[in-house]
Structure 1
Amino acid sequence: MSRSVAGPEIERLIQLMARLPGLGPRSARRAALHLIKKRETLLGPLSDAMRVAAERVVVCRSCGNVDTSDPCTICTDAKRDPSLIVVVEDVSDLWALERSGAVPGRYHVLGGVLSPLDGVRPEHLNIEGLVSRASEPGVGEIILALNATVDGQTTAHYVTERLSHLPLKITRLAHGVPVGGELDYLDEGTLSAAIRSRTAF
């Protein structure tokens, strides 16, 4: 069993940082040490930014995006096409598509994908909210911008079935999105091409 080489406050910081995606215990130790060394220029401002985020950031009840207002700035943007809803797995996918500048409409965050192995069933996702939004007057197209994984495709099929009773055009991302690829790791040009080249599902 390894011994602690730092005080309990630093150990707590390391343990919390190790919970972040992409950071293991070693990376968390290095990051924590860097923050402590840069206490005035990095640790203090980061602490303030995290406190403000914890106080002000909310989840949009309409689309599932995170913002400081509810409904979020995307949902209230009058320049966006209200007839188009882009369905994504997570907020990180929404952000990736926004960086591409290729989406003229609004979004809907499912909050994950169906995964029998992980116990994720339809009631665990925001599918009912999507059906409700898709039923609103003026909505004409749903773009399924889900990751090209087995679970992503299973979710796309399920969502298509749930929306089949509505007079909607249902499309999915096409060229440029590799099988097994995740939206958050693709460049803006690839995402733009995928949106422009969407096909019927």
Structure 2
Amino acid sequence: MQFPSKLIENAVLEMAKLPGIGKKTALRLVLNILKRDSKETESLAEALVKVRNEIRYCDECHNISDEPVCTICSSSKRETGIICVVEDAPDVLAIENTGQYLGRYHVLGGVIAPIEGIGPGELNIDSLIRRIEKSEGEIREVILALSPTMEGDTTGFYVTKKLKEYDIKVSVIARGVPIGGELEYTDEVTLGRSILGRRSYETSF
């Protein structure tokens, strides 16, 4: 691809590093930015720098947050006895958009993937155990809402083993979510029904 300017080329190459954006789409975005008022461009750049430098993660559930404790964990309207374990922040957004779940979350920050060098120690599993111990019996159910992939199932199995010594129900979302699919890309109706139709983990396979 030929570029009329080195500055545009650099901007396109940086934009194309984002997932789902090829060079043609990146070029359209860059050219669109050129047509906008300079203040709009400055606002966009400022917002991106702020989100990169100032965003933090909830001390309780590890979800994206502006404060030490996120709005979900600090809300008095959420069910404190149920924790939904997910892989990453986009999964929280996907489940929240269904409007079917009113409990709290725990974001693992990934799934167990030995080939990629990701073991249980790299995930937020120990902090989940600490939350359960700290609750002194208040937490009665853990829902495993992990993508139905081999890595997701391996992670779910590991978490279930870690929870066996506690008097807690471990359930898994119904398999309305397609095998091998990513949770964040599942439609809201299917995902909502999967949450409502969750089953005991031991009898799910």
User: Structure 2-normalised TM-score?
Assistant: 0.89
Alignment correspondent of 1:95: 93
Matched ranges for 1:125-164 at <5 A: 125-135=123-133, 136-137=135-136, 138-164=138-164
Task: Give CA deviations for 1:113-154 in whole Å, capped at 9, x if unaligned.
Answer: 111111111111111111111222201100000001111111
1:112 aligns with 2:119: no
Alignment correspondent of 1:21: 19
Q: Does the residue aligned with 2:148 lie in a helix, a strand or coil?
A: coil
Distance in 1 (CA, whole Å) between partners of 2:100 and 2:86 is 14
Task: Give CA deviations for 1:6-52 in whole Å, capped at 9, x if unaligned.
Answer: 234x3332232222111233332232222222345853432232234
Q: Does the residue aligned with 2:61 lie in a helix, a strand or coil?
A: coil
Alignment correspondent of 1:189: 189
Aligned residue type for 1:185: Y
Distance in 2 (CA, whole Å) between partners of 1:113 and 1:34 is 38
Distance in 1 (CA, whole Å) between partners of 2:65 and 2:10 is 28
Aligned residue type for 1:108: H
Distance in 2 (CA, whole Å) between partners of 1:4 and 1:188 is 41
In structure 2, runs of 5+ residues without a counterpart are: none
Asked whether the 8 Å contact 1:63–1:108 carries over to 2, the reply is: yes
Distance in 2 (CA, whole Å) between partners of 1:63 and 1:26 is 38
Q: How much has 1:68 moved relative to structure 2?
A: 1.2
Aligned residue type for 1:184: E
Distance in 2 (CA, whole Å) between partners of 1:112 and 1:148 is 13
Distance in 1 (CA, whole Å) between partners of 2:166 and 2:177 is 27
Aligned residue type for 1:131: I
Aligned residue type for 1:7: K
Distance in 2 (CA, whole Å) between partners of 1:53 and 1:118 is 27
- The alignment yields a C-alpha RMSD, in angstroms, of 1.9
1:200 aligns with 2:200: yes
Distance in 2 (CA, whole Å) between partners of 1:71 and 1:105 is 15
Alignment correspondent of 2:6: 7
In structure 1, runs of 5+ residues without a counterpart are: none
User: Structure 1-normalised TM-score?
Assistant: 0.90
Q: Does the residue aligned with 2:165 lie in a helix, a strand or coil?
A: coil
Distance in 1 (CA, whole Å) between partners of 2:119 and 2:50 is 34
Aligned residue type for 1:91: A
Q: How much has 1:55 moved relative to structure 2?
A: 4.7
Distance in 2 (CA, whole Å) between partners of 1:187 and 1:41 is 37
The percent of aligned pairs where both chains have the same amino acid is 39
